[in-house]
Chain A
Amino acid sequence: MLPIAQSELIQLFRNRAVLITSLIMPAAASIFFISYRDTFSQIGSLGYVAAVLIFIIAAFSLYATTVTTLAARRQNLFLKRLRSTAAGDATILAGLVLPVSVIAIVQVAVILIVFASVGRAPADVELLVVALTAALVMMLAFAVATAGITNSPEHAQVTTLPLSLGVIAVATWVGITGTENFALLKRILPGGSATELIVNAWNGGAPLADSMLLVAPTLVWVVVAIVLAARMFRWEPRR
Chain B
Amino acid sequence: MPVRPVIEVDQLNVTYGEFHAVKNLSFQVARGELYALLGTNGAGKTSTLEVIEGHRKASAGTVRVFGKSPTDRRAVRPRMGIMLQEGGFAADLTVEESVRLIGRLSERQDTVARVLELVDLGHRADTRVAQLSGGEKRRLDFATAVYGRPELIVLDEPTTGLDIQSRDALWETVRQLREDGATVVLTTHYLEEAQQRADRIGLMHGGVFRSQGTVSELTQTLPASIRFSLPPGSPALPMRPAPMADGFYTIDTFDLQRDLKTLLDWADAHAVQLPGLSAAPTRLDDVFRAIGTEPVPS
Contacts and interface: CB of A to CB of B under 8 A. Distances in A.
Interface of A: 3-4, 6-7, 10-11, 14-15, 73, 76-78, 80-88, 236, 239
B92 A84 contact: no
Nearest to A2: B104
Q: Helix, strand, loop or mixed for chain A's interface?
A: helix
Given A14-B92, A76-B91, A82 B84 contact: no
Contacts of A82: 102, 105
B105 A76 contact: no
A83 B54 CA distance: 9
Contact of B101 (A7, A83, A236): A7
B77 A84 contact: yes
A226 B91 CA distance: 30
A11 B93 CA distance: 7
A234 to B, nearest CB: 13
A87 B105 contact: yes
B57 to A, nearest CB: 12
Nearest to A235: B55
Nearest to A87: B105
A206 B88 CA distance: 52
Contacts of B74: 86, 88
Contacts of A73: 90
Contacts, number: 73
6 contacts: A11-B92, A81-B102, A83-B54, A84-B77, A84-B82, A85-B102
B114 interface: no
- Sorted nearest first, the 6 A-B pairs with minimum C-beta distance are A81-B88, A85-B105, A86-B77, A77-B87, A77-B88, A84-B82
B77 A85 contact: yes
A85 B76 CA distance: 9
Quick one: which of A4, A7, A11 has the most chain B CB within 10 A?
A7
Given A4-B101, A7-B101, A85 B90 contact: no
B73 interface: yes
Given A7-B97, A77-B84, A239-B16, A86 B105 contact: yes
Contacts of B73: 83, 85-88
Q: How large is the interface on B (under 10, 10 to 19, 20 to 34, 35 or more residues)?
A: 20 to 34
B78 interface: yes
Contact of B90 (A3, A7, A84, A236): A7
B49 to A, nearest CB: 12
A83 B72 CA distance: 11
A231 B84 CA distance: 26
B77 A11 contact: no
Contacts of A76: 87-91
A11 B53 CA distance: 27
Nearest to B107: A86
A68 B54 CA distance: 26
B86 interface: yes
B127 to A, nearest CB: 13
Quick one: which of B86, B104, B144 has the most chain A CB within 10 A?
B104
Interface in B79-119: 82, 84, 86-93, 97, 100-102, 104-107
Contacts of A85: 73, 77, 102, 105-107
B86 to A, nearest CB: 7
Nearest to A75: B87
A223 B112 CA distance: 42
Given A3-B101, A7-B97, A239-B16, A86 B78 contact: yes
